[in-house]
A and B are shown apart, each in its own frame.
Chain A
Amino acid sequence: MAVEEIHAEMVSSVWKVLVQPGAPVAAGDTLVILESMKMEIPVLTERAGTVQELHVVEGEVLQEGDLIATVADA
């Protein structure tokens, strides 16, 4: 079973969390929406499967490289 780790690409705050652990996701689905540079930036999964872990809550400030979620193959 392959697991994709999804990390923050830039310093940002978590604006909205759209999925919970256990949720099935398709490739290209939005997991959370970050806010940075005055923009709302969706974070997508490249892999279809199930959200395994979710490491962020709304309002939290993320540093570059922080783990946001893991998605495992269905």
Chain B
Amino acid sequence: MTTAQAAPPLPAPDPRDPEDRLRRFFDEGSLRPLGARDTSGVLAGRGTVSGSPAVAFCTDATVMGGAMGVDGCRHIVDAIDTALRERVPVVGIWHSGGARLAEGVTALHAVGEVFAAMVRASGRIPQISVVLGPAAGGAAYGPALTDLVIMGPAGRVFVTGPEVVRSVTGENVDMESLGGPDTHGRRSGVVHVVTDSEPAALETARLAVDLLAAQGTFGPAAEQAGPDLATFLPEQTNRAYDVKPLVSAVLDEPGLELHPRFAPNVVTTLGRLAGRTVGVIANNPLRLGGCLDSASAEKAARFVRMCDAFGVPLVVLVDVPGYLPGVGQEWDGVVRRGAKLLHAFAEAVVPRVTLVTRKSYGGAYIAMNSRSLGATAVFAWPGAEVAVMGAKAAVGILHRKKLAAAPVGEREALHAQLAEEHERIAGGVNRALQIGVVDEVVDPAGTRQRLIEALAAAPLGRGAHGNIPL
């Protein structure tokens, strides 16, 4: 008697297999390797992402932990140069322990050539990194040089590992705290998007490729009346709120937020407006009252420069009480780092429209794509305030003596009266309209429409510069 014998189970595919990872990244069946599979530690290929052609390479963690040697590095350089020639995005999937020790300085030289290729391509084609395992030592700077870094739960990026750290500084730290998703998503800002699974990381990279490679054009603004965007603001003007729902409502659908937990007082989101890719920069009053500070100015500056380099128009949603005051900020280089945002906006040639929803004060007013920095258009909602500072605070300084001389009981009323007068002559949206720093007061319900019209009417420039990781 014979019994049906189950075939021995096939060995489970190694989840780190680079071919498998590339296959999962590209549209089904579209992967065409650029070269034969070898022991170099890198596999590269062409394929499509939602129909758009792209190039990707993946370090081969099944060979020496993905360590990078001369041959592997040459595959990466070839992949980047191929993408550059064909003007398509290049995606790097990283799982690598760093340079191959056995190859010595030759390997370091090869890794350096990868960096040089990335810089050659910077600002010309979108470069996106997906970190799925360790990317240590030299491999750490690979992702860091690219436009967007996406990290899965097992991703670890650091220059020196826990053992070296322990032996040199005596600090006891594990790989995750040293360079895991929380560290880089929240503290260092190395990673733009943290995901909770490897498939989600690859899916996010696909979305980023689609947004940057298939930007589309502004469709006819079909809607009769858009959503009443004013409902996303609290009634009380001094109440903080989360700006993210407003950002989502301005876009066709919620976009891809970059750096959601790093410098969260500024929100930077790629999404689509009337079908076309745009970048949104918004102050978030929920965090730090929406103040700009050194980290958020730098984050926004990098985002602006990336969008400018790839011809992505910008929408700037302003509700900013100013720059965050304090010794910590000054010592942290808020002047030097804040200057980057001024530089980024002033040099940007993509269409860029500003909307002041509630208030825009002081130096932060200038930094948030003001008329003076060359905004395509500056809109404001009714009741918005554009000023050097809040009217009440301003008259407190301007009329200090007058207020001090007033009887205590009448001081508050006098203060309010002076503030009202001051707002009439120096603040308020009417004065801003008069002097031409605000072009138009727009109805919140018609805002999307006006944004689309203003962006679509402007000539679409594209900044001729690289995207240095500010």
Q: A38 at the A/B interface (Cβ < 8 Å)?
A: yes
Smallest CB–CB gap between A3 and chain B, Å?
15
User: CB < 8 Å: which of A9, A40, A64 contacts B239?
Assistant: A40
Q: A6 at the A/B interface (Cβ < 8 Å)?
A: no
Cβ contact within 8 Å between B326 and A39: no
Q: B221 at the A/B interface (Cβ < 8 Å)?
A: no
Interface positions of B from 271 to 302, Cβ below 8 Å from A:
285-291
User: CB < 8 Å: which of A11, A41, A42, A44 contacts B326?
Assistant: A11
Cβ contact within 8 Å between B324 and A39: no
Chain B at the A interface: SS class: loop
Cβ contact within 8 Å between A64 and B238: no
- Known contacts: A38-B321, A38-B393. The answer to whether A10 contacts B240 by CB under 8 A is no
Contact with B along A35-47 (1 / 0, CB 8 A): 0111111101000
Q: Count A/B pairs, Cβ under 8 Å.
A: 39
Interface positions of B from 326 to 355, Cβ below 8 Å from A:
326, 328
> Which residues on A sit within 8 Å (CB–CB) of B285?
39, 41
Q: In the complex, A38 Cα to B392 Cα: how many Å?
A: 10
Q: B390 at the A/B interface (Cβ < 8 Å)?
A: yes
Interface positions of A from 3 to 60, Cβ below 8 Å from B:
9-11, 36-42, 44
Q: In the complex, A41 Cα to B372 Cα: how many Å?
A: 30
Q: In the complex, A10 Cα to B326 Cα: how many Å?
A: 9
| CB nearest neighbor in B for A10 | B288
> Which residues on A sit within 8 Å (CB–CB) of B324?
10
Q: In the complex, A39 Cα to B358 Cα: how many Å?
A: 12
For the A-B complex with A10-B326, A41-B289, A42-B240 known, give 7 more contacts whose Cβ atoms are closer than 8 Å. Answer: A10-B289, A37-B291, A37-B321, A38-B390, A39-B321, A40-B239, A40-B240
Q: Sorted from nearest, which 7 A-B pairs have the closest CB atoms?
A: A41-B240, A37-B289, A37-B321, A39-B289, A40-B239, A41-B289, A10-B288
Contacts A/B (CB < 8 Å), 19 sampled: A9-B287, A9-B288, A10-B324, A11-B326, A37-B289, A38-B238, A38-B321, A38-B393, A39-B238, A39-B240, A39-B290, A39-B321, A40-B239, A40-B240, A41-B240, A41-B286, A41-B288, A41-B289, A64-B328
